[in-house]
Structure 1
Amino acid sequence: MTCAKDKIGDAIVAWHKVLPADHANLLTARSNLAALYSREGRLADGEAQLREVVSVLDAKQRASHDAETVTALSSARNELANNLLNQGRREDALAISRQRWRDLQASGDPGKYAASALSMLALAELANRLPTQALQHARLGVERAHATLPGGDREAFALLTLARAQLAVGNPAEAATGARNAIALSSAALGAEHRDTGLARGVLGRALLASGQRAEARKELDAAIAILSAHAAWLPELAELRALR
């Protein structure tokens, strides 16, 4: 990963000298570098790259309003909001998520990106203690994901977010059902050891714990902790799950 990161960093430096700031190659390289930083837990470094991408695409969108730029900006804002949530900067994440959803709605055709935008907005609302709003947006996210990209990782993410919201409003039984569905889809689409599968098992563990099913909850929490320890040890949620265990 270090070698890949260095190569991308070198490419950014070289391309920055000869390409315009909004060139697709340069923006893609910055986004890829941000992803690599995030996998290492270097969230501040990832944020710096993502903010550069968002700034350039935002200016381009204001000038052209073309569909390609709208979707690219939406994707970059999604990654930035997730990055900020993992840093504990929930107000910033909420502001970006709201702006993302407003811009997608203004485009007239949010399309397949609506599901991830709604789910990320719901996550930011949960982080800001707005469970009722989060539940509404999470449900819409599941509906959009199932209508546009059924059975894939986006529907799994939407189901996981809905399960989080259901747990937050005091419905652990519904949260457990949603988390189980998210685990099944995530395992099929991404793998049983993927980070998102681990997160879903963590939510299932929380839901079972809230329902008084301690033995089964412990099993899911242990599985989630093992997956996240191996693949995303820097995630704040890992420490939370360990505390529950």
Structure 2
Amino acid sequence: MLALNQLLTDFAATADLQVCLLDITGQVLTPRVTLDSKLTLKVGHRMRTHPKTLLLAAPSGFALPVVLDEQLVGTILCTCPTPIPEAKRTSTITILQLLLATYLNGLTQRQPLTAADDVPVALRSELKLAIQYIHSHLNENIALARISKQVFLSSYYFSKLFKKELGINYIDYVNGKKIRHAQLLLQDNSWSIDSIAQSLGFTQISYFSKTFKKVTGVSPRQFQKQCQAQQP
């Protein structure tokens, strides 16, 4: 699987643009690329307030969100010293969208993600709603009190019901989903471990690493090294 940063480097040379990958905070993840700090802060703010939409940063550039299974994980920022003609902008965005779709498909090809509506038919409606909510909010801290409020149940009753119907504690279910996403991104070292943790709502890298090891048996860095060793 080709790394996203390598794809972007090749694309930049062809399109005659500066192209780089940013995490959800606006931090640059592409080596040897330096952006104006005001621009990265602006992009970072726009990503948090307008996720999953095409972001126009300036007449001389644009940004494309990187969305993996409904979760915003970063942004591709393209800039040029001079304003980009509209025709070039349109064709460049189209090509980049195709490259990004191919890349994201490659991440999930080996182990497809579970769809939000892929739940037992007989499951209670409250739990179906909860699972769908979890699926679309993995980049946030989905506390038990928050999710139970979403489905109009008490935290105590929701917790008991969730364990009874799904056979797993709520927090273990949520963390399992988050770590599954982390595993997909860790296949490519274009993404830093810190950026992956932040994109999944972990405020502390130590807690992310502890949770990852609990679920998988290895640390995020060990898993990333294993993936790199398996690459052809």
Same fold (TM over 0.5): no
* More strand per residue: 2
Q: Which has the higher helix share?
A: 1
Please give the TM-score of this superposition, normalised by the length of structure 2.
Answer: 0.28
**Structure of higher CA gyration radius:** 2
Higher RCO (C-alpha under 8 Å, 6+ residues apart): 2
Name the TM-score, length of structure 1 as normaliser.
Answer: 0.27
